[in-house]
Structure 1
Amino acid sequence: MTTDWPVILVDGELTVRPLATSDSDAWRRTRQRNAAWLVPWDATVPPGGDARPTSFRQLARRLGKQARKGTTYPFAIDVDGRFAGQITVNNVVRGSAMFASVGYWIDRDVAGRGLMPRAVALVIDHCFVNVGLHRIEIAIRPENSNSLRVVEKLGIREVGYAPRYLHIDGDWRDHRLYAVTREEAPYGLLRRLREGAP
């Protein structure tokens, strides 16, 4: 396996790089400015669940430690050198499964420009080629039309429906499940996106 972390992925004005403690102020400002837009899709801690880190710096340190272990890969999304969102590869499973899940969010100010499909494609291509994973899954609330558009643009197929799948915005929420395997994107998702062919 080649070195898979840390890594910087670039496509034009879009850079996907490791989330760092130095992103604290930009992350907080972006989250505050986008709070109303993001809250309906944000994961929350269910009653009895593990407490979340109390600060961004604690979160970034915890995610960085997990990245060094190869269980999570937390990326910041920069657009023209400015922090604009986050994409995280979670629940990396090795062994006979070789899969992971991907979650993401973006600043509303840059949404609708095709940036998130490109960022997701960059990360999934990295996971297939450099991390050696075989399958990537994305779980999306049925009401999240923006996120559904991302998987549609990338030609990632729906594989199931999971009632009460994740604790989001204070309750257990249903999710549509999407997945792509390495065989389904032999030349990569970024190339597929550019060619417009699912």
Structure 2
Amino acid sequence: MTESDEFKPATESGEILERSFRVILRRLTSHDQDEFIKGVRAGNGLNLPATPEAFQTFLARFDEGRSADGLLICLRDTGAIAGNVNINSIIRGRFQNGSLGYAAFPPYANRGYMTEGLGLVLRHAFRTLRLHRLEAQISPDNHASIKLVQRHGFRNEGYSPDLLFINGAWRGHDRWALTNDMHGIVPDTPHPTLPAH
């Protein structure tokens, strides 16, 4: 496939942030609403917005201040949404940290798209956003999610009981983390909010 043959997203689609052999990473936009909701509903049980109203509220979290970044992993050849990754709770200053949330949409789960896409997310987070650390809180019985972060070198930092409110109850999660130096992407200059001392 040549550059001219590959999928070119419409102007209303989010700007392409990163690309790999099979997927592209771009920001979530209001134009993604119908396809996003369709993917969430097909996923049956994904903790993501499944109505237009909920989608608009969800989208509003990803403001220009970039305290959170809503991203999509899309197939490079068709532009179809294979999954969603959010970098939530971005804290600057001495922390330079973000918290990951992600989901694969049927029928694209278990095909390696999320593994490839998460690699793009890490590059974006560490190189472009200049974060130092990313965290993922994962239910201990979510083996697919644990394998996903392990493939990228995240370390297990322990278990926290009653950590996240999901499906009407507080649930314990394992905490996984990756720093930019562990991943081998340390920016030449730190984010301007990082103190000198």
TM-score, L = length of structure 2: 0.79
Supply the distance in 2 between the matched residues of 1:187 and 1:57 (Cα, whole angstroms): 33
CA deviation digits over 1:65-104, x for unaligned, max 9?
Answer: 2xx1021010012123112221000000100111111110
2:192 corresponds in structure 1 to none
> Of the candidates 10, 23, 27, which is equivalent to residue 18 of structure 1?
27
The structure whose RCO (Cα within 8 Å, separation 6+) is larger is 1
Unpaired runs of at least 5, structure 2? 1-13, 187-197
Supply the distance in 1 between the matched residues of 2:57 and 2:74 (Cα, whole angstroms): 21
The equivalences for 1:5-44 within 5 A come to: 8-36=17-45, 38=46, 42=47
* Cα gap change, 1:149 to 1:112, in 2 (>3 Å): same
1:83 corresponds in structure 2 to 81
> Of the candidates 97, 100, 119, which is equivalent to residue 99 of structure 1?
97
Supply the distance in 2 between the matched residues of 1:150 and 1:25 (Cα, whole angstroms): 27
* Cα gap change, 1:71 to 1:183, in 2 (>3 Å): same
- Structure 1 or 2: larger helix share? 1
Supply the distance in 2 between the matched residues of 1:146 and 1:14 (Cα, whole angstroms): 19
1:116 corresponds in structure 2 to 114
2:165 corresponds in structure 1 to 167
Unpaired runs of at least 5, structure 1? 45-52, 189-198
CA deviation digits over 1:27-51, x for unaligned, max 9?
Answer: 1111111114x3xxx279xxxxxxx
| Runs of 4+ off more than 4 Å | none
Partner AA of 2:139 in structure 1: R
Supply the distance in 1 between the matched residues of 2:58 and 2:105 (Cα, whole angstroms): 19
1:55 corresponds in structure 2 to 54
Supply the distance in 1 between the matched residues of 2:131 and 2:16 (Cα, whole angstroms): 16
CA deviation digits over 1:4-37, x for unaligned, max 9?
Answer: x96521112211111010111101111111114x
TM-score, L = length of structure 1: 0.78
Tell me, yes or no, if the aligned pair for 1:135 and 1:181 is still in contact at 8 Å: yes
* Cα gap change, 1:92 to 1:6, in 2 (>3 Å): farther
Matched, 1:71 2:67: yes
SS of residue in 2 equivalent to 1:149: helix
1:50 corresponds in structure 2 to none
Percent identity over the alignment is 28
1:191 corresponds in structure 2 to none
